[in-house]
Amino acid sequence: SLNSSLLDIWIVMFFGILGFFARRHGFAVAPIAVGLILGEMVETNLQNSLKMFDGDWWLIFTQPLAVVFLVLAFLGLCGPYLFQKLTNRG
């Protein structure tokens, strides 16, 4: 522990056990780690965007780049399912 704190050791043990069970049950650990690392940056930037647009969510989506990223996120999440449904029909 860098801070000589018992809490740091408990946190490391908790995440180690969590990672062990995630791997054991087939979860990919890398996307979870990336999500934990980038989650704070996304939250901070969303807060900044909402401050710029006075808390109005719809004004964010009037920006073309935001719409492009929203469509890409939708395709990334739902694209494989939709592709599978379309290819199994034929």
Task: Classify 54 as helix, strand or coil.
Answer: coil
- For residues 55 and 63, give the distance between their C-alpha atoms in angstroms, rounded to a whole number: 15
pLDDT score of 72: 93
Phi, psi of 26 (to 5 degrees): 90, 10
- The pTM (predicted TM-score) of the whole model is 0.53
pLDDT in tens, 13-66: 998 998 888 889 988 878 888 888 899 998 999 899 889 989 888 888 888 998
Looking at residue 1, its pLDDT comes to 59
Which residues have C-beta within 8 Å of that of residue 61, sequence separation ≥ 6? 67, 70
Helix (H), strand (E) counts: the chain: 4, 0
Per-residue model confidence (pLDDT) at position 17: 93
Domain ranges of the chain: 1-52, 54-90
